[in-house]
Amino acid sequence: MENTQSFFDDIRAYHDEEIPGVVEKIAADPLLIPAAQFVFPNLDIEQVRALIRSCQTSYDIQRKIMYPAIGGIIHRTMRNFTTEGCDRVPETNGWLFISNHRDITLDAMLMQYALFGNNLPTTDISLGDNLLRTPLVFELCKANYMIKVIRKDDVSMREFLENSRHLSEYIRFRINELGRSVWIAQRNGRTKDGKDLTEPGIIKMFGLSGTSDFVETFSQLHIAPVAISYQYEPCDVFKAVELCRRRNDAPYHKAENEDFLSILTGIKAYKGDTNMTFCEPISKQELEAIAELPRAEQCKALADLIDRRIITEYKLFDTNYIAYDILHGTHRFSNYYTSEAEQQFAIYLVRSNAQFEVMGVDKDVAREILLGIYANPVEAKLNLGINL
């Protein structure tokens, strides 16, 4: 077992025996001060450092640091945080939770909060190595059951496949051998346009560590989709700006520390009502039906099935219906929102336009993209024939 685990040293989380040394690094990091001021406003920095140093295991970090920290974020940046489908999550067995991806860190953090609060086992969290360049984030994540996903753009195709196989093997090892669940996003990078679509390449990656038997390979992973929905999308203005520049064929290069700033913005920004729903897991019978398809179509079919689960369970808010009606010039869904909510969203759009002007993008194009972020989940349900 030890030899097997050491094979994954490059992407694994810290073991419990490593935690005492790690918490010293976290406590001493200068960036802890501004982070602690927001997450633990009622404690001074020395109290926060003492709390961190008292952690001896990863579970301690979740119980003493992460759970209250996420609770504080919810209290200060959300009106309500609701969860549904927790009865679908078994108390035993390792599961592969695949969720839509709207915020860099909050999606996974909120899921851990929901599981922990319902006395269910938390999960490993898959995070791209581009998010781990800040030492504080790296150490804190690695101490909190993180799996590092190597996403370097400058690797060869052979190295990319080797990295994908390595990750796939580790995920399967954690689930099958250790009974530990894993969270991973349905795509590489956040959804920028409000369209929650699973990349078939992610499904192919899972299969790299399996056998030639499709049903056996994927039933062993116990796939369970998860839908996360925000009334006000984290970093929506920045997403619209990025897509606006890309649409105009302008080169888009991330600024230094842009990912870290997006993490902070996503955490601090107001999100209104937020919902997390654990969808019905993918059944063996459904995998058997997909296995009847030609091999070239199987991964896409499984991705489509996951998408349908997520889109079905995605909770629509008044902002989604208002944006759809504005974008399409209708009052089709006016029964789903009040005139006060419509007014609030109109003010939100005015403020967003001001930000677009400061950032130097076409306000009309950026506004259309921003509306699409909110309207597209409505469109997705309509396209699947789901009653609203």
Closest by CA to 374, choosing from 198, 242, 227, 191, is: 191
Band (2; pLDDT cuts 50, 70, 90): very low
Q: What is the mean pLDDT of residues 62-90?
A: 94
Give the predicted TM-score (pTM) of the model.
0.94
pLDDT for position 153: 66
Q: What is the mean pLDDT of residues 109-135?
A: 91
Band (156; pLDDT cuts 50, 70, 90): confident
pLDDT for position 150: 82
pLDDT for position 39: 86
pLDDT for position 257: 64
pLDDT for position 47: 96
Domain ranges across the chain: 2-14+82-234+269-315, 319-383
Of the ranges 127-141, 280-294, 364-378, which one carries the lowest mean pLDDT score? 127-141
pLDDT for position 160: 87
DSSP annotation of 280: P
232 has a pLDDT exceeding 90: yes
User: Which tokens go with 329?
Assistant: 């010039």
Q: What is the mean pLDDT of residues 188-212?
A: 95
244 has a pLDDT exceeding 50: yes
Closest by CA to 135, choosing from 54, 30, 64, 44, is: 30
Band (1; pLDDT cuts 50, 70, 90): very low
Q: What is the mean pLDDT of residues 193-212?
A: 96
Distance CA 84, CA 96 (A): 18
Closest by CA to 241, choosing from 260, 222, 254, 256, is: 254
Matching CATH number, 2-14+82-234+269-315, of 3.30.750.24, 3.40.1130.10, 3.40.50.720, 2.30.30.40:
3.40.1130.10
pLDDT for position 154: 64
pLDDT for position 189: 85
219 has a pLDDT exceeding 80: yes
Q: Which residue has the higher pLDDT, 5 or 294?
A: 294
pLDDT for position 165: 96
SS3 of 28-44: HCCCHHHHHHHHCCCCC
Distance CA 40, CA 23 (A): 17
Query: What type of residue sits at position 69?
Result: A
C-alpha 327: how far from chain center: 27
Q: Give residue-wise pLDDT tens across range 3-13.
A: 555 789 999 99
pLDDT for position 251: 61
Q: Could you give the percent of the chain with pLDDT greater than 70?
A: 95
**Over the Cα atoms of the chain, what is R_g?**
21
Judge contact between 229 and 275, C-beta under 8 A: yes
Q: Which residue has the higher pLDDT, 173 or 248?
A: 173
Band (252; pLDDT cuts 50, 70, 90): low
Q: Give residue-wise pLDDT tens across range 351-371.
A: 999 999 999 999 999 999 999
Q: Could you give the percent of the chain with pLDDT greater than 90?
A: 81
Beta pairing class for 272-278 and 78-84: parallel
pLDDT for position 266: 87
User: Which tokens go with 325?
Assistant: 């009606």
Bridge partner list, 146:
125
User: Which tokens go with 228?
Assistant: 């996360």
User: Which tokens go with 319?
Assistant: 């902002």
Band (250; pLDDT cuts 50, 70, 90): low
